[in-house]
Amino acid sequence: EIVLTQSPATLSLSPGERATLSCRASQSVSSSLAWYQQRPGQPPRLLIYDASNRATGIPARFSGSGSGTDFTLTITSLEPEDSAVYCCQQRSNWPMYTFGQGTKLEIK
């Protein structure tokens, strides 16, 4: 089973700064990776699919990169509403999904 490890567990930044979130897979998942944002009490929201494609309606401040085992979600010009848990998800063993444990982003 492929395990996704996200780092850091918690990230505290100020408005206007850049956030860099990491997701590492225990073995290659090619580009079969997605990123989600989840605010408290809400369902997840798709940000990035297939490693680097922004989902519909997602601002250009959000970008995804990587392939194989190392992936990055970058959020530029942080805004207060970016406070949330960010989770990666892989689907290299189609159609089954596995998720990372999440990174909590706090905007000070």
Partner 1 sequence: EVQLVESGGGLVQPGGSLRLSCAASGFTFSGYSMNWVRQAPGKGLEWVSYISTVGSTIFYADFVKGRFTISRDNAKSSLYLQMNTLRAEDTAVYYCARDHYSAVAGIDSWGQGTLVTVSS
Least CB distance to partner 1 at residue 12 (A)? 20
- What string of DSSP letters covers 33-96? EEEEEE-TTS--EEEEETTTEEPTT--TTEEEEEETTEEEEEE-S--GGG-EEEEEEE-SSTT-
**Contacting partner 1 (CB under 8 A), which of 11, 19, 23, 32?**
32
**Contacting partner 1 (CB under 8 A), which of 53, 65, 77, 108?**
53
> d(Cα 55, Cα 26) in Å, to the nearest integer?
25
Scanning 8-16, 18-26, 46-54, 76-84 for contacts with partner 1 by CB under 8 A, the matching segment is 46-54
**Contacting partner 1 (CB under 8 A), which of 17, 44, 69, 76?**
44
Does residue number 58 form part of the binding site for partner 1 (CB under 8 A)?
no
Least CB distance to partner 1 at residue 11 (A)? 17
| Cα radius of gyration rounded to whole Å, the chain | 13
Is residue 80 helix, strand or coil? helix
Report the interface residues with partner 1, using CB under 8 A.
31-34, 36, 43-46, 48-51, 53, 55-56, 87, 89-91, 94-102
